[in-house]
Structure 1
């Protein structure tokens, strides 16, 4: 019912939104002699703000058509190389002639960036992709909005996510690298453990977990406490709704993106309110640079997707309530997931000092689970002065975190010939730690 009311509210506001757009265009027209008056600027700014607050935010474009490498522009083309109704594997194909001119003559490591399926589109990692494109063949998981998948396509749950990661790694060839950003940590670790257990040729050469809830019992945040304090039945009763027509997935039970967005924004409500007040003030004084920054951020932040009922509820149950992976109790398709069977996959964990989503220690827990990995294949890093978003985006990510990830991947690439010969009974030694 809530989903239907949400849609009804959107369409009910349409006449007001159209009126606001007309007013905005009228009061910003160079043909309007009163456009630069104080009253004109106020009406223009208010109309623009109202139109932006009530409009529909669709899936953003990647907007990555080139990347700067060694001071030269290298053309980039995002292309789909594999897909299911639930996900597309996107390869950011860099132009070979441009790469040669930029001094890149050798084959570079292939990296799968596992984007979170937690409300936002994969384009939230645009900055992450741009950084990795400087030194890697980059692939990313582009998850589908559940409301756009017809009921006839069946279900998609936590275990389907694991299967998708395994298949995408296979599509990339032998020994790719995988970077899991936030939510994908547990299913990516599970996929790597299963592939290692089977000695698959396409098992990762390294896995990097960034701000991931591998063990949500450690340093619990507000998000973790909410999941633990509420009974499972509460999430079933209060967070799941039917997709209404005219969407292709009409009738599908989902955790709506707008509900998740409300949760995100409520955690920093005053900050978002102040951002919009400042946006209004910048519009009135004609500060185009600041308003563009605001629009660029919120165009991405307010674009959300729905999650299937079964994926959302299983994630709450498996990751945040029963903690099956860190307790050694996770089973996949009737088979025990055993991270201790990982012997030749490098492990890097990255956390933010001020992360209010995945507290310090939750990502580091991966090291305790991978008991058979020797110290030379393990690294841990805590980035000072950043929150959750700063772990994978922004200046500190580009300047301090990404270079460490790049160096780790390069080191694991050099280790691969030795990894193939490493015995399964490799000696277990303490974790190597790096921290500024």
Structure 2
């Protein structure tokens, strides 16, 4: 019922805000000539956009600057499954067509509320030297009940299947945030089954061992039972969405959490948009709105996946304790031997505390020391690990060094 109430409130607010915004710029309306009318119009315009449900966001990467020239980028759907589309991005350059393909890298996007487009800058950077495969996870409210449930184990099996399909022997894997846990599990299962594993595995800012330097997320999970999360954060998708009847952790819950955790960043983005719109700078306002849409592009998560993650990662610590089983198969990171390991953390990461990602080195005891590297980026927050100056100058070069050595 709460989901329906929120949807009704949002639709009502959007309709009212649109009319109010137009009224303050309508030359037939005397209020449009009052001082500050454009400011009022901009504020109502912002509210109308906030209240209007966003379409599925797209990467919109059509070209990149490669060695001083503009090169087109081709995007295709490599694999299509109910809960995930594996997208393939490749720069269409002459050397690629001549039989000299770039290195392949599988970018495992987190399923923690945001759409995969949050990693657009990561994809654009990687395209300079790689063919990039991206896990684009579906919004659970658009997945029919007939497609069944989606558990954390299913995420692991999806990654395992993708590595198989791309051919592990020539593949590098990069996992960010929440994705680090199921991705490490997928590679461990391949190793335990004596299947080929990727050349390298890079884990960035993820809760491999959430007991180390626990953050607000871990503390929240430890203070409440799984039943509390089920009772307070899980709701049923209403009509007219395709997933009507499916239990999810809704996007409006994600937005509330984002606003609480990153209030200053969101406030700045909204302010920049309103200010540009009030000044009549439509182009700048559009750019600010695109940044805001990317930052706040959130999705519904399947309830079983969300609750599995809380239990497995933040309450029972199954991965670091060696007690995790995926469909009856033990997850044994110590069986990984031929995959190089790189972990990258931010010194000021407010989502995954210091040491949580580097814990992977203790678990992957089968990898020889020359194949292990860990980096802590000074004065770097969580989102800085995959966007902005820290990503470009500190994180991305380390990833390229790892994939070049493993080629």
Aligned 1:17-416 pairs, distance under 5 A: 17-23=17-23, 26=26, 38-97=35-94, 106-175=100-169, 176-201=171-196, 203-287=197-281, 291-413=285-407
| Superposed CA offset, 1:397-424 (max 9, x none) | 11221011101111122xxxxxxxxxxx
Shift, 1:274, TM fit:
4.8
What is the distance in 1 between the residues matched to 2:143 and 2:10?
22
Cα 1:25–1:91 change in 2 (3 A) is farther
Give the CA deviation at 1:279: 3.7
What is the distance in 2 between the residues matched to 1:241 and 1:34? 42
Gaps of 5+ in 2: none
* Structure 1 counterpart SS, 2:76: strand
Please give the TM-score of this superposition, normalised by the length of structure 1. 0.88
More displaced 10-residue stretch of structure 1: 131-140 or 38-47: 38-47
Once the two structures are TM-superposed, the CA of residue 94 in structure 1 deviates from its matched residue by 2.2
| TM-aligned CA deviation for residue 71 of structure 1 | 1.1
Deviation at 1:60, TM superposition (A): 1.3
- Secondary structure in 2 matching 1:325: helix
Distance 1:274 1:365 in 2: 34
Q: CA deviation at 1:45?
A: 1.9
Equivalent-residue separation in structure 2 for 1:99 and 1:53 (angstroms): 42
CA distance in structure 2 between the partners assigned to 1:35 and 1:12 by the alignment:
23
Range with bigger deviation, 360-369 or 3-12: 3-12
1:117 shift after superposition: 0.6
Quote the offset at 1:326 in angstroms.
0.3
Deviation of 1:15 (Å): 2.9
| In structure 2, distance between residues paired with 1:375 and 1:136 | 26
TM-superposed CA distance for 1:24, in Å, is 6.3
Does the C-alpha gap of structure 1 residues 405 and 288 become closer, same or farther in structure 2, counting only changes over 3 Å? same
Rounded Cα–Cα distance in structure 1 between residues aligned with 2:165 and 2:86: 9
Between the aligned partners of 1:296 and 1:148, the Cα distance in structure 2 is: 23
Classify the secondary structure of the residue corresponding to 1:382. strand
Counterpart contact for 1:345–1:377, Cα < 8 Å: yes
Which stretch shifts more, 337-346 or 281-290? 281-290
- Equivalent residues of 2:24, 2:38 under 8 A apart: no
Q: Structure 2 vs 1, CA of residues 119 and 316 (structure 1 numbering), >3 Å: closer, same or farther?
A: same
Residue 159 (structure 1) shift: 0.5
Displacement after TM superposition at 1:8 (Å): 1.4
1:5 aligns with 2:5: yes
Q: CA deviation at 1:293?
A: 4.1
User: By how many angstroms is 1:277 displaced?
Assistant: 3.8
Q: Deviations over 1:7-54 (max 9, x none)?
A: 111232243033035336637xxx999979744422332332222232
Distance 1:98 1:6 in 2: 52
CA distance in 1, matches of 2:332, 2:112: 25
CA separation of 1:179/1:271 partners in 2, compared to 1, >3 Å: closer, same or farther?
Answer: closer
SS at match of 2:214: coil
What is the CA deviation profile of residues 369-390 of structure 1, one whole-angstrom value per residue up to 9, with x for unaligned ones? 0011111111001111221011
Kindly report the root-mean-square deviation, in angstroms, between the aligned alpha carbons of the 2 structures.
Answer: 2.2
The secondary structure found in structure 1 opposite 2:318 is coil
**Where does structure 1 lack aligned partners over 5 or more consecutive residues?**
414-436
Q: Deviations over 1:167-198 (max 9, x none)?
A: 11111124211100100111100100011112
